[in-house]
Every structure is written in structure tokens, then in C-alpha cells.
Structure 1
Amino acid sequence: MDEKGFVEGVRRYMSQLREEKRYSSTKSYQDALNSFIKYSGTENISYSDINKANLLRYEAYLLEKGCMRNTVSTYIRRLRCIYNKAVENGEAAFIPSLFKGVFTGVESQRKKSLPPGDLNRLMTVPVKGERLRKTQLALCLMFQYGGMSFVDFAHLHRGNIKNGVLDYNRRKTGTSMRLEVLDTAEVMCKELAGERAGNSGYLFPFLSGTKNGHEAYLEYNAALSRFNRNLRMLKEVAGIASDVTSYTIRHSFAMALKEQNVPIEMISELLGHKSIKTTQIYLRSFSLEKMTMVNKSCFENVYDYMPEVG
């Protein structure tokens, strides 16, 4: 086996991803490769180095460094993908259950959503300056647009809203989304869009519309970073201790629906998920208050039970 076969295999696949303009995936594989090279202490990594014992040691190494379990899973799944491609190409040996026993799942993130009170303060707290006002408007609109992700929000065109209906395809999955625009959202949309966005081709003023390929990917990442920085400023003004990012809005939307007893099938469709399993990852446990209310109601219905008199 080539002693650099694995590293070359990753780089070959990243070249393919770049050609397909899948820049986010390219970065994910690059991060995983950098991590595994750092762990190995060398770039001379053959496919035979991807063995059960080494994978377990690598998993322990990542956890000791303080990596989240989902990060560990992402890195190991990237290794698995490259190894499986090498097996298909006859470059690596097939080893049954090679990746069994190392974490490759998804762990629910229980602290991403905010309670209604915190959401209300973020949406309504008086702010000074155009930057925070636009951030607040964007937050409110993303929530009203069905918990829309920032990547879809930033790439909306004016043509995506016609006759009061929002119609677009999710950039992550291609899922077709269609939602009636609320009256409150229409007013906020006009304020946030202003006049500048008409020149960029986009509805909202986050992207220039002049970049292509990798440069467009970098511009979007910079816009996302700015938005998350502005959200941190907004949450400080609102006096909220919890972390707030663009993902918080989406997760909070899902949890607010769950607390209102909306069926998970409806939540999943509003979020544009292809699988209810994905939606379940978003939804942590019900709030303590909700659990207490249901528990109390259940007990009282039984304890105070009165049979119907026929």
C-alpha cells in the first residue's frame, strides 16, 4: 500500500468537490484531514493505518482535546467515506465492521433553542443603530419564514416572493419550500430590504451578487460571521445569557412549535427536512413548565375522576 495513499485519496476527493462547487463539503474534509494528520504526526498515512485500534485512539485523542461528540463523528465519517471509496477502487482492503465501535452518529444539541421569553426580548428590545436593527429584523423574518436557515435567507431573491407567497428551494437539500407571508413579515421585509438589495439581485443586503464560485462561498461565510457577531451584540442588549447564533433561530422555531403541541410531521415540513429523524435531532425535551403542567393535569384527571352518571 502507498504510504501516502490515504492523504492523496482525501485530496483527490476534495478536488472533485471543488469542481462540483461544493465548497462547504471541501472545507469539512480539509478540517478532518488536518486533524488526522496532526494526530498522526505525519502526512505519510496509508490505508492500512485506518484500522480499528487507530480509530479508537483517534476518537479518544479528539475527546481529550475537548472536541464535541458531533465534531468527532464528522471527522470519523469523513475518514470512513474516503476509506470506502478506496475499497471500491481496490486501493484498500475491505474490513468488516471497521468503523463499528467509534462514534459516527449525531448527538442532540440540547441547548440550542431559547425559551419564548428570551426570544421575545431579542425580537422586541429597543436597539440603537442600523446594524442591530437589521439584525433584529432578520431574526424576526427568519422565524416567520418557517425557521429559515441563514444561508437560504441571505440568498433569497425578490422573485422568491410573489403574490404574498414565499417560494424557494433549500440550498442544503434542494427541498422545495412554499409558505404564505404573514402581514407582519411583509412590513419587516420592506424595511430590511430597503433599496440597496435591488442592485445585488438578492432581496436582503447581505451579499453583493458579484462573486462566483469559491469567492462567493467566502463572501457568504464572512456574511454569516458578521451576522453571528451582531446576534451576540443583540443578545447582550437584550440581557440574555444563553448563546445565540443563526442556528438558534431555527432550533427555537422548532421548539416553540413543539411546545404548542404541533405534530412533528408539520414541524418537519415547515423546516424542510427530508426525514422526521432530522427533526427529532432539533427537538430537545419539553420545558420543565410544560412537563409539570401535563403531569399535574394527568394526576388531577385521575385523582378527581368522576364517573359519568348514565
Structure 2
Amino acid sequence: MRKEEDFVTGLLVYIVRLREKKRYSTAKSYQDALNSFKCFCGMEAIPYTYINRNRLLCYQSWLLDKGCSLNTVSTYMRRIRHIYNLAVEADGAPFVPNLFKDVFTGVESRRKKALPANSLRSLMGTPRVEPEMRRTQLSFCLMFSFSGMAFVDFAHLRRDNIKDGVLSYHRQKSGSLIQVEIPAEVRLLLDELAACTDKDSPYLFPFLSGKQTGEAAYGEYNKALCRFNRSLRSLATTCGVGEPVTSYTIRHSFATALREREVPIDVISELLGHKSIKTTQVYLKSFSLERLSAVNRACFESVYKTVSGVG
């Protein structure tokens, strides 16, 4: 095996490549994983030989003890694994069988981010909110009506994405083409929010200036996302909604509302622009207690009446 840079250097080189490809979000994810792993190891330089199965398991326990979710653990572990495997392929790190065995690299789907119907109605329908909060309420309504649109896609919509009453755009994350007909009542909400946008902006809605490029544009988007999530929390408080509300909540709630209406999962997946139905399944929380109880009661009654002769 030829001498190679250590893990930290290898990951930093990879981050530079990601930024050159304008994959700023992914680059940030790798940087976050690096910062976390360096903090755990207490080292600025981490030789590849320092990374072993026991140390990875200890790192996983360390993350969980700090309150990190399993999805965060998975993200960090997958970032470390990818850089390590690249080094193995370049003969810069030893191949270790089952190195990542028993560390979590999957998707934890038990977290329920979707809102119940009454909370959705409160967030979308509470009247007489302040002007700034009204913009947030309009955005919530529109993102939900646009098939649970992700905020990154919503913020980057342009006027030419709408033609003949149809919204068409490619998802930033997957590249999937999404097309949605805009009902008349939704068009009224769209026009109200669009009226808040600076006339010089290339975008449809008032989140981004359009004056930034490259990594600066990514930084502007991140700040806009943080502001939007803060505004959503304020809106939830005003509307008396106790559940946590973020931009992701809208997407999960849309998917779950469709599932409650027995819409086939492949249809939900296409509406969300997912490449895989497995991704859609992560978005879907369990059915509501009321729905499960009704189905369970109907099943029992249909059998019980038969065997007891009732009815």
C-alpha cells in the first residue's frame, strides 16, 4: 500500500471537489461529519488506520449520548464510509472486512413529522395574522397545494414556471419533473404572495434576491430557510398549534394526508418527485389512531356479526 494522506485531508479534498461541482449542500454535509468526527477523536489529523470497527461503534454511542438522531448518525457514518472506501480504492487505506458492521447507516422512519388535519387547518386558515406572518401562512398553503413542495424548490420558482394554469418545475434534489394544475382559489393565494416580491427579482416569491451566485447564493438560501422555519414556529404559536412545524413538516403532512385517503403509494411518490418508493415510505407516518380504530372496529364487527348471527 502506498503512503497516502490521512482521513481528514482526504475528506477536505473531497469537499473541494464537491464545491467545484457547485454541490454546496452536500459539501456542507461532509464538513459537518468531519467536524463531528474530529471532535470525537480529539485529533486534527486522523490516520486511516485509526479508524476501526470498535472506534466507529464508540463514535455512534457518543453521537447518541449527545442527543443526535439515528438519521444524523447514519448521515455521518455514510460520509465517513464513503471517504474511507475511496481511500481503499486508491490503495491509501487498508481494506477491513465488516468495518462498518453494526453501525447505523440506514433510515430511521419512526419519527412522525406530519401534522394532524386540525393543526393543518389552523395553520392555513387562521384569519387576521400580521402581514409578515401572512406571507408565511400563504407559503404554507401554497407549498401544501403544490404537492408538498420542498422549500428549496418553492424559493427558486420563477414566473416562467407557470404556463396556462400549470406549474412545471424540476426538483433541485432529484431533477424529477413535477407538474401541478393550479386551481383558481390557489391562484389567488399565489398572486397575493407574488405581489410581495421585488420587481427586480428573477424569482416568483420573496425569499431570494437573485443577485448572488455560487456558494454565496447557497448561503443566501440557507439564511432564507432559517428565517422561514422561525416564521413557521411563530405562526404555529399564533394559531395555537403545539406540534413542531418546519418546512419539512409541510411535505410529510401532504404525503400522510394522501395516505389517509388511501391514495396508492406510487402516486404519492410521483407527486413528491421521489426516485424511489422507499423514500416515500420514510415520509409516511403511521395512520392516525382514529383511522386505525375505525378499521379495526369494522373488521371485528364484520366477523362478529357473522359468527354470532347478529344482523
Structures share fold, TM-score greater than 0.5: yes
Structure 1: tracts of 5 or more residues without a match? none
Aligned counterpart, 1:139: 140
TM-score under structure 1 length normalisation: 0.96
Give the CA deviation at 1:126.
1.8
Change beyond 3 A, Cα 1:133–1:195: closer
Three-state SS of the structure 2 residue aligned to 1:178 is: strand
In structure 2, C-alpha distance between the alignment counterparts of 1:128 and 1:108, rounded to whole Å: 34
In structure 1, C-alpha distance between the alignment counterparts of 2:148 and 2:63, rounded to whole Å: 32
Question: Residues 4 and 92 of structure 2 are in contact (CA less than 8 Å); yes or no, is this contact kept in structure 1?
Answer: no
Aligned amino acid, residue 99 of structure 2: L
Three-state SS of the structure 2 residue aligned to 1:168 is: strand
Per-residue CA deviations over 1:32-77 (Å, capped at 9, x if unaligned) read: 1111111111112111112111111111111111111111111111
Aligned 1:66-145 pairs, distance under 5 A: 66-145=67-146
Question: Residues 2 and 46 of structure 1 are in contact (CA less than 8 Å); yes or no, is this contact kept in structure 2?
Answer: no
Question: Residues 122 and 234 of structure 1 are in contact (CA less than 8 Å); yes or no, is this contact kept in structure 2?
Answer: yes
Give the CA deviation at 1:109.
4.5
Question: Residues 196 and 206 of structure 2 are in contact (CA less than 8 Å); yes or no, is this contact kept in structure 1?
Answer: no
Aligned counterpart, 1:221: 222
Question: Residues 166 and 181 of structure 1 are in contact (CA less than 8 Å); yes or no, is this contact kept in structure 2?
Answer: yes
Aligned counterpart, 1:31: 32
Question: Residues 123 and 140 of structure 1 are in contact (CA less than 8 Å); yes or no, is this contact kept in structure 2?
Answer: yes
Identity across matched positions, percent = 57
In structure 2, C-alpha distance between the alignment counterparts of 1:265 and 1:182, rounded to whole Å: 23
Aligned counterpart, 1:272: 273
Question: Residues 114 and 248 of structure 1 are in contact (CA less than 8 Å); yes or no, is this contact kept in structure 2?
Answer: yes
TM-score under structure 2 length normalisation: 0.95
Per-residue CA deviations over 1:90-142 (Å, capped at 9, x if unaligned) read: 11112222111100011014331100000000001123322100100000000
In structure 2, C-alpha distance between the alignment counterparts of 1:90 and 1:301, rounded to whole Å: 65
Aligned amino acid, residue 275 of structure 1: S
Question: Residues 56 and 103 of structure 2 are in contact (CA less than 8 Å); yes or no, is this contact kept in structure 1?
Answer: yes
In structure 1, C-alpha distance between the alignment counterparts of 2:196 and 2:256, rounded to whole Å: 34
Q: How many residues are aligned here?
A: 306
In structure 1, C-alpha distance between the alignment counterparts of 2:233 and 2:156, rounded to whole Å: 22
Structure 2: tracts of 5 or more residues without a match? none
Per-residue CA deviations over 1:198-255 (Å, capped at 9, x if unaligned) read: 4211010110010000110010011101111110110001111110000000000001
Aligned amino acid, residue 9 of structure 2: E
Aligned amino acid, residue 232 of structure 2: L
Aligned counterpart, 1:167: 168
Three-state SS of the structure 2 residue aligned to 1:305 is: helix
In structure 2, C-alpha distance between the alignment counterparts of 1:48 and 1:3, rounded to whole Å: 11
In structure 1, C-alpha distance between the alignment counterparts of 2:110 and 2:132, rounded to whole Å: 29
